[in-house]
Amino acid sequence: MSEKIEASTSEAHEAKGGKLEVEEAEHHEHKDEISPELEALLQTDPTKGLTSAEAAERLARFGLNELAEVKRNPLLKFLGYFTGAIAYLIEVACIISAVVEDWLDFGIILALLLVNACIGFIEESKAESALDALRQTLALKTRAWRDGHLVDWFPVMAVVTKTGGDTFIGRAANLISITTEEGHFQKIINRIGNFLILITVVLVVIIMIYQLVHFKGEEKGKFLSVLGRVLVLTVAAIPVGLPTVMSVTMAVGAKQLAAKKVIVKRLTAVEEMASVSVLCSDKTGTLTLNELTFDEPYLTNNYSSDDILLYSYLAAEAGANDPIEFAVRTAAEEQLEILKNRTHKHEVPGFK
């Protein structure tokens, strides 16, 4: 979808709720930045943008300018809570209790298994819902040229050449989404589970060999007695409350982070972030607002702060997209009385 997006010098006034004013002089000043070759290739006019019909046709052809989100089947996501070393131990104990017909233990163990899965599934689903709501607050909106008129605002002038997953960011996001590497926290839990499985198997084998040798030649019912003892040992080796405690604790952490506008895509990432000692992050627009502001200037030769700000304002290009010039002009229009009281927006009393 090819769109022309334009900024104007009234950006500061727009942020305050003022009426957006787009001047033809500012528009034509930058039109040469779009090469004729690019215009021909994308079949667009940088002075008018697309017509509504052209925009609709390209929307149907290329789709929305958004990154595709892979939605997991809720049933498969729920079944995923029945996998893992500790979950397998609980399931083995459940099977053994059914074999020895100890239905009370069977019901209790099965209930624990279901409770662990349900709590994890529900809490993570709630966290995802909170994150979806947060994403809506972070959605960016722009204005574009449509049928020769500006229909929204955004501080950049551009012709959109690719959208969604076809962009560089889209391809990078796709590579991240298909990554299935286990997190640090999950690796630790799996190691604990594997260790418990190993110890349990060794002890079970020793007990079964001893019991079968000791009761050799006696009635078959003794074998069920052996399985009963194996069941007791297996259940004792399982930290049945661990999955529940983990899920609830990390879900609470995710909600607290979401309240601070931090997106947590996986619950286990909460613990992983807690163990980070050095974080390398893109600063602009992530840790900062990508907005420059004018601070107190360094003064010499008896010049005042207003003098420096006024001269900087006069030197700054009207309608330019340079962030420093925009910050200077915004600060001057907000602070200087000579600019607040002028009768014409593009005139400064006493200067030409």
SS3 annotation, the chain: CCCEECCCCCHHHHHCCCCCCCCHHHHHHCHHHCCHHHHHHHCCECCCEECHHHHHHHHHHHCCCCCCCCCCCHHHHHHHHHCCHHHHHHHHHHHHHHHCCCHHHHHHHHHHHHHHHHHHHHHHHHHHHHHHHHHHHCCCCCCCEECCEECCCCCCCEECCCCHHHCHHHHHHHHHHCCCCCCHHHHHHHHHHHHHHHHHHHHHHHHHHHHHHHCCCCCCHHHHHHHHHHHHHHHHCCCCCHHHHHHHHHHHHHHHHHHCCCCCCCCHHHHHHHCCCCCCCCCCCCCCCCCCCCCCCCCCCCCCHHHHHHHHHHHCCCCCCCHHHHHHHHHHHHHCHHHHCCCCCCCCCCCC
Q: What is the pLDDT of residue 221?
A: 52
Distance (Å) of CA 283 to CA 62, 231, 280: 31, 55, 9
Per-residue CA distances from 93 to 73, 110, 243, 246, 341 (Å): 28, 9, 16, 21, 82
pLDDT of residue 15: 38
Look at residue 40 in the predicted model and tell me its pLDDT.
67
Strand partners, 158: 5
Whether residue 314 has pLDDT greater than 80: yes
Quick check: is 295 catalytic?
no
Percent of the chain whose pLDDT exceeds 90: 0
Q: What's the Cα-to-Cα distance from 299 to each of 72, 199, 207, 295, 316, rounded to whole Å?
A: 60, 75, 86, 12, 19
Q: CA 176 → CA 136, 171, 172, 291, distances in Å?
A: 21, 9, 6, 28
Mean pLDDT, the chain, whole residue set: 70
pLDDT band at 285 (very low <50, low <70, confident <90, very high): low
- Delimit the domains of the chain by residue range: 1-169+183-280, 283-352
pLDDT of residue 148: 63
Give mean pLDDT, residues 291-318.
Answer: 82
Q: What would the pLDDT profile of 88-108 be if each residue is shown by its tens digit?
A: 877 887 887 787 777 887 888
> What residues pair up with 5 in beta bridges, in sequence order?
158
Cβ neighbour number for residue 288 with a 10 Å cutoff: 10
pLDDT at 185 over 70: yes
Burial 237-265 (b: 16+ CB within 10 A, else e): bbebeebbebbeebbebbeebbeeeeebe
The pLDDT score that the predictor gives to residue 341 is 72
d(CA 136, CA 314): 40
pLDDT given at position 308: 86
Which of the four pLDDT bands, split at 50, 70 and 90, describes residue 155? Answer: very low
CA 313 to chain centre: 39
Six token digits for residue 321? 């997209």
* Whether residue 60 has pLDDT greater than 50: yes
The residue annotated as part of the active site, out of 102, 105, 282, 322, is 282
- Kindly state the tokens that stand for 154: 């955004």
Q: Which residues contact 45 (CB under 8 A, 6 or more apart)?
A: 4, 39
Residue range 111-138, pLDDT digits in tens: 878 887 887 787 777 767 766 666 666 5
pLDDT at 228 over 50: yes
Separation between Cα atoms, residue 102 and residue 112, nearest integer Å = 16
Judge whether residue 207 has pLDDT over 60.
yes
Task: Compute the average pLDDT of residues 291-304.
Answer: 82
* Mean pLDDT confidence for 224-229: 72
CB-based contact 319:9 (threshold 8 Å): yes
